[in-house]
Amino acid sequence: MRTNSSFVVSDIESFKEGLLLWAQQYDDVLWLDGNGHKNRYGSFDALLAVDALTLLQTDSEEAFEKLKEYQVLTNDYIFGYLSYDLKNDVERLFSKNADHLHFPELYFFQPKKIIKIIGDTVSFDYLRMVDDEIQSDFKAISGGDTFNVGEGSATKNIRIKLRIFKDEYFRQVQQMLAHIHRGDIYEANFCQEFYAEDTKIHPYRTYQRLNAISKAPFAAFLKMYDKFLLSASPERYLRKEGDKIISQPIKGTAKRSQQDSADAKLVSALQNDPKERAENIMIVDLVRNDLSKHAIKGSVQVEELCEVYTFEQVHQMISTVVAEVAPGANPVDLVKGTFPMGSMTGAPKVSAMKIIEELEAFKRGLYSGAVGYFTPDGDFDFNVVIRSILYNASEEYVSYSVGGAITAKAVAEKEYEECLLKAKAMREVLES
């Protein structure tokens, strides 16, 4: 059982900054921030979960079954993530590429303390065992108390390395194109890793810099003791709201211009680019197929097709696919039936994942997985983990990965340039 108390805050931006700083005292933290983006399917402006009462972490073997049991057992809010390599639990697949981050493949926790921001109202949703701390926590956060973020010295002059070099990237793309021309697949998302070894960063401060320059609608800060996700994700994977499920895949990226007229031309060019539209429509078809596995017959609809949205760093082409599910449908089954998200795999999905595993040079892990939460009512909301920095503090290893859709019309040089564009914000905050 939880106790809920609400407060009106006059300076919500200062409160948000103090809130995330206050959260650093805990070992288990998940912060989700909409950064002011108004999404018709959003239910908060920001959401924080801290201080695990119980938790589940596991590898991919029977991971979704374990999650289903945990979700039923807690009958409460649970927050966490699904790594990309849970594909091995969904299909008869495997992950053989090197893992340098060593994150659990699935992680969820039941927080003692949940704090939600909607407009200028802050709601504290605490388990009864800690509800006597609501008033003191609110005063500490809003009173400008000084909190120790527990961060030592950071590495100066971080040296970022490429897991594969440009020539190797071109060769792998050519192999993927050969699969496409043979008819093995129509499209696949090919990714590459950038990393730094023997490196220390300030996770909280690095996230704040990344968020400031990206202002993404599905931003996230995750702390699991010594492991961190700093995410500026623009993409929703899947949301359940009552009997409705919503997916909003992204395919199609264009750079921004500082001049309004040039920026408008970039939007128009993306909107009308036949290759980008083809990529997006292929993934929309895949998502429709995934949602239909559990949807009420005839309920799958495309609400938006190839709409261009503008963010701080890039323009993105986004579609919105919705469906109705039967009352009482198991939420974990709904996630499993659509995982991993089509925008990060390709089509047909299983064939694309097999080829991805052969050609990529790193284990994706949490990258291109999903971060979010389940509610006691069986609703949920998850982002897609892209535009993100992953950090293992104990092993002093920092990583960020980027990718792009390879189709029959793909040009390796242009795909490589798109990867560098997507990587720009992460590189900037790490090298600053």
List active site positions: 235, 251
Q: Which residue has the tokens 């991919």?
A: 60
Yes or no: say if 74 and 110 are a contact pair by the CB < 8 Å rule. Answer: yes
How far, rounded to the nearest angstrom, does the alpha carbon of residue 8 sit from its chain's CA centroid?
Answer: 30
CA–CA distance from 129 to each of 2, 3, 111, 133, 225 (Å)? 9, 10, 12, 9, 22
CA distance 401 to 423: 8
Alpha-carbon distance 396 to 409, whole Å?
Answer: 40
Closest among 109, 275, 251 to 189, alpha carbons compared: 251
CA dist., res. 237 & res. 45, Å (int): 18
Q: Nearest-5° angle of CA 239, CA 245, CA 249? A: 65
219-256 burial, b at 16+ Cβ within 10 Å, e below that, comes to bbbbbbeebbbbbbbbbbbbbbeeeebbbbbbbbbbeb
DSSP 343: G
Q: How many residues in the chain?
A: 432
Nearest-angstrom CA–CA distance, 33 and 42:
11
Torsion on CA atoms 373, 375, 379, 380, rounded to nearest 10:
0
User: Residue 340 has which token pair?
Assistant: 């991993």
Contact 270, 317 (CB under 8 A): yes
Which of 32, 50, 52, 41 has the alpha carbon at shortest distance from 117?
A: 32
Cα–Cα distance, 93 to 103 (Å, whole number): 19
Of 117, 116, 128, which is closest to residue 1 (Cα–Cα)? 128
- Let me know: does 106 contact 80? Beta carbons within 8 Å: yes
Q: How far apart are CA 430 and CA 190, in angstroms?
A: 23
